[in-house]
């Protein structure tokens, strides 16, 4: 009887093969915050911050920034899945006005934002998340936001 059960289990296990090929897609491992091709904040893949200060000038016009996402090899990539959003946390709304300009169009995600300085301050820290359907896919390390 044990022999028959063993043979049946082997037969059933072999008959129900599952494709175990892992789905290949890049994971967010780091980022760069840029303005006019100048990098202000840079978190390399799964490491500490290489550049850590986002500086804007008080009483200046709105400043536009772009976030480039990095994969685990520090290569820039653009996730092609819809439903990703940018959310800043610990942002002092008395210090700066934040305007999220991110979105999904032309089959690509664009992570852009504007900062409008409201008052001079130093040494405040912020961080951001890339959310996928309201849960974080990536959380940055905290970095400096300075209004001079």
Distance CA 126, CA 18 (A): 44
What lies within 8 Å, CB to CB, of 107 at 6+ separation is 80
Question: For residue 44, how many C-alpha atoms fall within 13 Å in the half-sphere facing its CB?
Answer: 5
pLDDT score of 86:
95
Q: Provide the 10 A C-beta neighbour count for residue 125.
A: 13
Taking only the tens place, the pLDDT of each residue in 122-134 is: 678 999 999 988 8
Q: DSSP letter for 134, please.
A: T
Distance CA 113, CA 63 (A): 8
Taking only the tens place, the pLDDT of each residue in 1-60 is: 554 544 444 444 544 444 444 444 568 999 999 999 999 999 998 788 888 888 888 877
Q: Provide the 10 A C-beta neighbour count for residue 96.
A: 25
């Amino acid at each position: 009887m044990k022999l028959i059960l063993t043979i049946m289990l082997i037969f059933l296990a072999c008959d129900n093969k599952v494709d175990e090929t892992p789905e290949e897609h890049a994971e967010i491992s780091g980022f760069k915050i840029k303005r006019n091709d100048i990098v202000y904040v840079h978190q390399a893949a799964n490491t500490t911050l290489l550049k850590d200060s986002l500086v804007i000038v008080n009483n200046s016009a709105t400043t536009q920034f772009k976030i480039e996402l990095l994969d685990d090899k520090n290569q820039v990539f653009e996730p092609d899945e819809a439903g990703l959003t940018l959310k800043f946390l610990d942002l002092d709304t008395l210090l700066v006005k934040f305007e999220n300009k991110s979105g999904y169009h032309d089959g690509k995600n664009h992570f852009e934002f504007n900062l409008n300085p409201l008052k001079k301050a130093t040494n405040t820290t912020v961080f951001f998340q890339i959310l996928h359907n309201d849960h974080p896919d990536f959380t940055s390390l905290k970095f400096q936001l300075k209004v001079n």
